[in-house]
Chains A and B, each alone.
Chain A
Amino acid sequence: MSITAKSFEPRQIKNSIARWCISAGGISVLFTLVLIFMYLVYVVKPIFESATVEPGVSVSLSQQQTSEQAKTLAVGVDELNEIAFYIDAQGQIGFYQLQDSDQHKAGETLLKVELLAQGEQLQHVYTTNYNHYVLLLTSGEVRIVEPQFSVVFLGDERQVHPKVNYPLGEEAIVVSEEGEQVSQLTYAFASERAIFIAQTTDKTLLKTTLIAEDDFMYDPEHAVEYQIIETPIAAHSDVMVAHMAITPDLTMAVIEYDNDVAIYDLEDEWDVPVRHKFNPLLLTPNDKITAMTLLSGSSSILFGTQSGQVLQWFEVAGEDGRQFQQIRHFKVSDTEAVSKIYPETYRKSFFTLTPSGEAGLFYTTSEANLWQGKLLNSDALPLAIAPRANALIIGQSNANANTLELINVSNEHPEVTWSALWQEVWYEGYPEPDYIWQSTSGSDDFEAKFSLMPISFGTMKAAFYAMLFAVPIAISAAIYTAYFMPPAIRKTVKPTIELMEALPTVILGFLAGLWLAPLMEAYLPAVFSLVIFLPLATFLTAYAWHKLPKNIKVIVPEAYAPLILLPFLLLTGWLAFAISPLVEQVVFGGDMRQFITNDLGIDFDQRNALVVGIAMGFAVIPTIFSMTEDAIFSVPKHLTSGSLALGATQWQTLVKVVLLTASPGIFSAVMMGLGRAVGETMIVLMATGNTPIIDWSIFQGMRTLSANIAVEMPESEVGSSHYRILFLAAFVLFIFTFVFNTLAEFVRQRLRDKYSSL
């Protein structure tokens, strides 16, 4: 056909525009589903990515002294990684701009302050996890320095001014009352107290406590208390202490002597008693401890060993009180010792270093080995973790100049690994590995417990009890409606049962939680007796009808069985409830609930799996009923006629022919029902206690994936691991139901083809 004016007629154009628009609209449905899938994956994906550690900016320091005098002893950086600082052997602190800002160029010196008074000499600088730097002087005195960054907004401009603060006063603090020199020191600080534990050069252990007159936040004025700590092991009295640490809550000190560890109680007013002693190298006696540190939260102690391992120990409640126990270990290096361990301030991540500068990044709870690689040339360089744990700052020195180097760390979700989500994890303070879901708590250094097992289990349990209740009722009702019921009655019965599907689940949930749960608690025997009484009553009614004289049978034919049963079943129900208190009195000593808890030893929740099973069962009955009914009703009539003609009874035909033919349809109905039960939110939210426990008991509640999302999503921080794990829960639900629905649809399609060929 040639191109004539006709084919460009507006009508034709309109027609093809309509075709395009409608096609686009149709495809958009598929697009929506794919979009939901992709978006969920997009949010979930980052939690399974491991960490990256990459060199970032570096600035060289402008110093005139020789390199030995200018040796950098400690480094640090501000919250936004904009300003870095160092403390050198001269006792000078210098602040440098790391990144270009509105006011300053990268590399610019912002501030230099002398930290030492006339005549003082610096022996060592100890770093802490809360930005306090302990300057140990050769005289055995110390001074605490806190670099601070004050932020000022001038209009839209943000200005950061570094300054140096002395939280315990500018005056040097005498650690040893006798004025001895100090060879080892550790320090911890709380707002009203600060404690030093020091070993002097003549191997005496000292505890020096600074007690604030008011609060160190406002006022450095304090009183000092000196104590001598007795060495716990006589044989060790001549051994130098290798590692010491104090917990931030100032309750315990951990001191390691020659591979033996002693835990001291610091809360005793008069004495410093030993609480525990243990040897962390019990399993590998030939090894040697080369590093020790407290993990964030200070419940765990990490030991680095000569053989390149990191061991995690914490206190576990056992038969003979709380004992320290090795929980897990990390292999850091095959050839080298672990010489340094740097824990993060708020999370359970830690960095390790070996003497040759090989570094590693680990997370304890998830047992994740997040990153390993060569970071430095030696382990002797000062290193610090940035306050937001998104960078490391290193003081490099080489022959020409000293530099401050920033190393970017991206380690957003170390707490999530596949094994932490689905396997038992030994959490701090727990007696044994367990599946726990506990996403939040009051404290900052809380160990988040993200096991999806309890809530996935809850989902399964709720769905299981719902199906247990719904499947028999729905399928038997469908069989009767489709196969035995006269069309006239079927026309009203079917829409009535299907009406249940339209009932909002929030109403079912509310009735289950506020009406059904207390009712069932009060009439527990009635609920269980109904399971026996209802079939029994049905059977008796049927038998009685069978025995009725013919002329009455004509008036009430068997076709009206559901209606005949109605009064009898109602009566049975009423009877069961009426005699329930009596049964309780006679059999269960007055209160079945008490009986279950006390005599059977089973915990009983008012909102339990039984309530959920019944309430959610009601929600899925119409789904299963409707589809089963359709499947049975559309079994070709000639099949049943043939069977009946060969002399089979109605029931035999049903079981041997109809149900067999319709079984794929029934299967897909059950699948759809299961999909609905798995994803149902409001009923479980309202009818259970939402406790994430793993227990099949029918008298216990549960928490499901969907209810968990509804409860926790509104308060989770966008982009946090918690937020992404909740998306993962949604994704799991999505995949679950996708599989069920697609399977059901596939089976149904096959069945439809089969019927049409019959």
Chain B
Amino acid sequence: MDKSNNTWFKSGAPWVWMSAAGVTISLISVVGLLWLIASRGLTYFWPAPIHQFDIKDELGKEYTVIGEIYDVEQIPASQLAHTAIDLTGKESVERLLVKTGNRELVSLDFRWLVEPLIVAQSEPENVAVIERRTNGNFYGFIEELYIEGKKVDVAQLPEFVERVDNLQEQISELQKSDIMSINYELERIRLNRRKDELNKELTKARNAQYDSDVAALKADYNELESELNALRAQVQRDHIVVRAMGGERVNINLEQVIEISFHNKMGVIAKFGHFLKQIGKFIGDDPREANTEGGVFPAIFGTVLMVLLMTVIVSPLGVVAAIYLHEYAGKNALTKLLRIAVINLAGVPSIVYGVFGLGFFVYMVGGSLDQIFYPESLPSPTFGSPGVMWSAITLAILTLPVVIVSTEEGLARIPSSMRHGSLALGATKAETLWRIILPLASPAIMTGIILAIARAAGEVAPLMLVGVVKMAPTLPLDGNFPFLHLERKFMHLGFHIYDVGFQSPNVEAARPLVYATALLLVTIIVALNMTAVSIRNRLREKYRALEH
């Protein structure tokens, strides 16, 4: 027996198992990571049950806490030894983190409850979750509804919430498109006037023209403003009275209300509906409350736009470079240098690209562009400050090697018999490339571009220097001429995660949103990568078939 053990040990089998453990750990960590993000991200949308806790604290005071359970943890009883809580015979104690909302009543919207203090726990049917535009959620029992100051039946509530919703939509439409475009026009007139002044072309007639334009716009503005004020008065008409957990009766104006839902009343199907609706709102809405609530639409939009711009720049460059390396370059020192350059471009830390982009593109190139083309708006910079265009160019350099390597791999897989055949039939090299090689390599190019997009979508460090902001007031694409504003700053999903998770005033409250954003980003990137890998695999199969 001993001998067999000895030979087993000597054969190195335990070491093989050890190396197998390396695979297992890697797999556990990849899958675990994805599962962690997915589960935490998705629970954010799922309507959680609202609990009511009756508490009797160590001093004998009794009160009620209503809220969602956020976290549960076991702590050793000794940690609570300094309190007067009776813990005799307990090794560890359960502690609940409860989100109580109601920010106007309590200073913290989270609180810890120690399990032994909970006298009773229930899930009252008619507790309402009121999602509000400011101040976060409110949990409570809706008692009264006032329409135009008159008390009416609470059952009519959905109808009036709907009405407020429509009005709010009109208001934001008015503010965001009409008034914004007037402001944009006014700014343009100011710049044009300044431009004429600088060129010494500001004649009296022109000046008068500008003045009358401004007057007209201001008149429009006043009209819109009064319209806006009327709508605002309308939207503030109704309010509800809600009883909070402490028994306080709070007036909530319907203007504040986005949605009222009764989580404890919902069945599974209703919950699922609510879940989908929340996901929809997350993707389609603007952020609220310093990014800690609401949706991430501007971040998605900014990411997509920046990545598209980057694709436009990186694809031709990367493909051309790969074609040169594979089809044209001879076996010489220059080619060797080029290959080292490609490897190094891939290996240079992304923050270095950010530094380079900020110094070279933003300050040097952008600063010069401003001097030449936008002297009228100086000293405030146009292209001389970080923006979506510079971000796209910086990331294009960063992802260039990805496209080159992938395209080159595709080119290498094309059997040389195809090239020879084409050349033998009298086609020039350019024609062979254009008609034969490129179509065949297109899936590989596609793979490269997809991988580049995935890389760019997840890259944050350089963007922090060359164009991303916490909160962009306007999207880089809007209804004002020239529609695409390349100089504007933008929001980005990756940066959103960093910003909300680490720089927001209420990290605890924002954490579920960060997980949700992370899930969205991971989904996009994993999906892009899977697509790329599957295209590449299919391509490999295809050429294997061609070769035989």
Contact = CB atoms under 8 A, between A and B. Distances in A.
Interface in B440-472: 454-455, 457-461, 464-465
Nearest to A535: B18
A19 B400 CA distance: 20
A514 B507 contact: yes
Interface residues of B, number: 100
A504 B459 contact: yes
A19 B430 CA distance: 7
B428 A11 contact: yes
A624 to B, nearest CB: 11
Contacts of B497: 506-507, 510
Interface stretch (B72-80, B128-136, B162-170, B238-246): B72-80
Contacts of A479: 19, 22
- Point out which of B79, B324, B344 has the most chain A C-beta atoms below 10 A from its C-beta: B344
Contacts of B495: 506
Interface string B324-365: 110111000010011111111111111111111011100100
A503 B522 contact: yes
Interface string A562-597: 110110011001000000010011000011000000
Contacts of B27: 493, 496-497, 562, 566
A741 B344 contact: yes
A745 B494 contact: no
Given A12-B428, A542-B13, A546-B8, A36 B356 contact: yes
Given A506-B460, A737-B348, A741-B347, A484 B30 contact: no
Contacts of A27: 324, 334, 338
B12 interface: yes
A200 to B, nearest CB: 54
B14 interface: yes
Interface string A476-500: 1111110011000000010111011
A585 B345 contact: no
A65 interface: no
Contact of A29 (B363, B400, B526): B400
Contacts of A539: 14, 17-18
- Point out which of A36, A655, A718 has the most chain B C-beta atoms below 10 A from its C-beta: A36
A40 B351 CA distance: 13
A26 B20 contact: no
B320 to A, nearest CB: 3
A361 B66 CA distance: 71
Nearest to A581: B76
A709 B355 contact: yes
A359 interface: no
Interface string B482-505: 000000000000110110011000
Interface stretch (A387-395, A400-408, A675-683): A675-683
B511 interface: yes
A706 B351 contact: yes
Contacts of A562: 20-21, 23-24, 27
Contacts of A745: 339-340, 343
Given A503-B525, A507-B37, A590-B79, A651 B15 contact: yes
Nearest to A479: B19
Interface in A694-720: 706, 709-710, 713-714, 718
B23 A477 contact: yes
A221 to B, nearest CB: 40
Contact of A23 (B18, B328, B457, B459): B328
Contacts of B363: 718
A737 B348 CA distance: 6
B114 interface: no
Contacts of A26: 320-321, 323-325, 328-329, 338
Contact of B458 (A36, A502, A675): A502
A15 interface: yes
B92 A570 contact: no
Interface in A13-61: 14-15, 17-19, 21-23, 25-30, 32-33, 35-36, 39-40, 43
B342 A29 contact: yes
Contacts of A18: 429-430, 433-434
B76 A504 contact: no
B477 to A, nearest CB: 24
A741 B351 CA distance: 17
A30 B498 CA distance: 33
A33 B339 CA distance: 11
A273 B317 CA distance: 75
A16 to B, nearest CB: 8
B90 to A, nearest CB: 13
A418 interface: no
Interface stretch (A68-76, A133-141, A345-353, A726-734): A726-734
A706 B328 contact: no
A561 interface: yes
B28 A569 contact: yes
A618 B29 contact: yes
B355 A569 contact: no
A29 B338 contact: yes
Contacts of B24: 562-563, 565-566, 569
Interface in B77-110: 78-79, 92
Nearest to A22: B324
Contact of B17 (A514, A561, A591, A676): A561
Contact of B26 (A25, A33, A477, A581): A477
Nearest to B350: A681
A649 interface: yes
Contacts of A25: 316-317, 320-321, 323-324
B525 A502 contact: yes
Interface in A642-698: 649-652, 654-655, 672, 675-676, 678-682, 685-686
A29 B18 contact: no
B464 A480 contact: no
A558 interface: yes
A476 B12 CA distance: 14
A562 B16 CA distance: 10
Contacts of B459: 504
Interface stretch (A122-130, A442-450, A467-475): A467-475
B312 interface: no
Contacts of A726: 355
Nearest to B510: A514
B68 to A, nearest CB: 19
Nearest to A578: B74
A570 B27 CA distance: 11
A511 interface: yes
B308 to A, nearest CB: 18
B458 A506 contact: yes
Given A566-B28, A681-B461, A29 B37 contact: no
A511 B461 contact: no
A713 B430 contact: no
A440 to B, nearest CB: 17
Contacts of B339: 745
Contacts of A325: none
A509 interface: yes
B59 interface: no
Closest 3 A-B residue pairs measured CB to CB? A679-B349, A651-B12, A26-B324
11 contacts: A14-B430, A27-B334, A513-B501, A542-B13, A561-B17, A563-B24, A566-B24, A649-B11, A686-B502, A737-B352, A741-B344
Given A477-B25, A497-B23, A507-B458, 14 more contacts: A22-B327, A22-B328, A27-B334, A35-B360, A40-B355, A480-B20, A493-B23, A503-B522, A510-B498, A514-B514, A566-B24, A685-B461, A737-B348, A741-B343
Interface of A: 11-12, 14-15, 17-19, 21-23, 25-30, 32-33, 35-36, 39-40, 43, 472-481, 484-485, 493, 495-497, 499-500, 502-507, 509-511, 513-515, 522, 534-535, 538-539, 541-543, 545-546, 558, 561-563, 565-566, 569-570, 573, 581, 584-585, 590-591, 618, 621, 625, 649-652, 654-655, 672, 675-676, 678-682, 685-686, 706, 709-710, 713-714, 718, 726-727, 730, 733-734, 737-738, 740-742, 744-745
